[in-house]
């Protein structure tokens, strides 16, 4: 814009020669007019070339910036994504453990699949950076990016993932508040017993391509630990620039995003380890049959088992 203003200023501000041009002898007047026209053209060209060069140089950066950030206020605290407040009526059927289960599975206390369709809420204020049904082991997924102030005063960002949803209730780039409906609980169309798979990521580049990142606490938080340590945070009316497009499209590596698309898509699906070996020791025994139902689905070949698959 400033470049355009410069063009107009330089092109239309009266030339000092024009103002001073004498209206005397016809010949000198016509000479003077010709030289003025030449000078005027030269000035126009110089300005246009300068602005063209500036645009060539600046536009990709400016476009990327304006297209890939959104203004978001700091989250004023976090809550659980079910049974607000405080996950009332729900329990954690499986916990987070590094190199195993990178999130938590939340279940209703009603037993069976009675929790099908119950509301899933955003953990805190943020912006929706992903809302798609990507099938495979994931199904309907929502990613929300949160910006917040840690107790030590530092500004931080995390992504929260809500997976296997029955329905998605938020769109890409929606601004959401803590406790706002973003989806309903599902089981990825019968692949799993109905539950919410919840992740909280420190690394904002993961998106839906987990297999390309270390499966440990360098990239992930234990969701419950993260929430409990940040129930109430200081906030204000101030808005911050939050990147909303800094991870690879689903099934692609970040390094692929500038290529022509000729690549092998690496598809990442949730890991479901059978047996008790991977289960966290500190999970309280629940009277729900989540595990036995999950194992039955795995034996039946419905649920995705093992580690992340690639295809």
* Residues in touch with Zn ion (CB under 5 A): 105, 197
Nearer to Zn ion, 105 or 113 (CB): 105
Nearer to Zn ion, 138 or 250 (CB): 138
Nearer to Zn ion, 5 or 281 (CB): 281
Nearer to Zn ion, 197 or 201 (CB): 197
* Bridging pattern class, strands 196-201 and 220-221: antiparallel
What is the closest distance, in whole angstroms, from the C-beta atom of residue 275 to Zn ion in the complex? 16
What is the closest distance, in whole angstroms, from the C-beta atom of residue 164 to Zn ion in the complex? 8
What is the closest distance, in whole angstroms, from the C-beta atom of residue 103 to Zn ion in the complex? 5
**Nearest to 48, CA basis, from 10, 100, 89:** 10
What is the closest distance, in whole angstroms, from the C-beta atom of residue 175 to Zn ion in the complex? 27
The contacts of residue 204 (CB under 8 Å, 6+ apart) are 145, 157, 158, 159, 243, 246, 247
Q: What distance in Å separates the CA atoms of residue 165 and residue 185, rounded to the nearest whole number?
A: 5
Q: What distance in Å separates the CA atoms of residue 258 and residue 266, rounded to the nearest whole number?
A: 16
CA atoms within 13 A on the CB side of 33: 8
Nearer to Zn ion, 121 or 290 (CB): 290
**Contact status, residue 100 vs residue 271, Cβ threshold 8 Å:** yes
Instruction: For the chain, give the number of residues.
Output: 311
Q: Determine the Cα angle at 25 with ends 22 and 27, to 5°.
A: 110
What is the closest distance, in whole angstroms, from the C-beta atom of residue 200 to Zn ion in the complex? 13
Provide the greatest CA pair distance for the chain.
107
What is the closest distance, in whole angstroms, from the C-beta atom of residue 195 to Zn ion in the complex? 7
Structure tokens at 154: 């530092």
Nearer to Zn ion, 76 or 105 (CB): 105
Shortest-Cβ-distance residue relative to Zn ion: 197
DSSP label of 87: I
Give the gyration radius of the chain's Cα atoms.
29
């Amino acid at each position: 814009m400033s470049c355009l203003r410069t063009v107009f200023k330089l092109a239309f501000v009266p030339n000092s020669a024009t103002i001073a041009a004498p209206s005397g002898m016809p010949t000198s007047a016509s000479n003077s007019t010709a030289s003025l026209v030449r000078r005027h053209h030269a000035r126009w060209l110089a300005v246009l070339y300068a602005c063209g060069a500036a645009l060539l140089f600046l536009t990709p950066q400016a476009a990327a910036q304006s297209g890939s950030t959104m203004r978001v206020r700091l989250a004023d605290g976090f809550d659980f994504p079910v049974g607000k407040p405080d996950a009332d009526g729900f329990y954690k059927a499986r916990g987070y453990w590094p190199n195993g289960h990178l999130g938590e599975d939340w279940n209703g206390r009603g037993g069976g699949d009675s929790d099908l369709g119950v509301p899933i809420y955003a953990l805190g204020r943020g912006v929706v950076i992903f809302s798609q049904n990507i099938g495979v082991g994931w199904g309907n997924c929502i990613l929300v990016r949160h910006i917040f102030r840690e107790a030590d005063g530092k500004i931080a960002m995390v992504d929260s993932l809500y997976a296997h949803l029955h329905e998605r209730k938020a769109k890409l780039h929606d601004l959401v508040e803590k406790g706002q409906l973003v989806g309903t609980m599902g089981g990825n169309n019968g692949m799993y017993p109905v539950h919410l798979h919840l992740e909280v990521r420190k690394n904002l580049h993961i998106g839906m391509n987990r297999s390309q990142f270390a499966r440990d606490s360098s990239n992930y938080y234990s969701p419950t630990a993260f929430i409990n340590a940040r129930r109430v945070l200081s906030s204000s009316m101030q808005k911050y620039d939050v990147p909303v497009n800094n991870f690879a499209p689903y099934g692609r590596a970040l390094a692929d995003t500038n290529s022509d698309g000729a690549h092998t898509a690496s598809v990442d699906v949730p890991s479901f380890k059978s047996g008790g070996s991977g289960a966290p020791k500190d999970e309280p025994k629940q009277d729900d049959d989540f595990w036995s139902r999950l194992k039955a689905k795995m034996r039946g070949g419905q649920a995705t088992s093992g580690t992340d698959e690639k295809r």
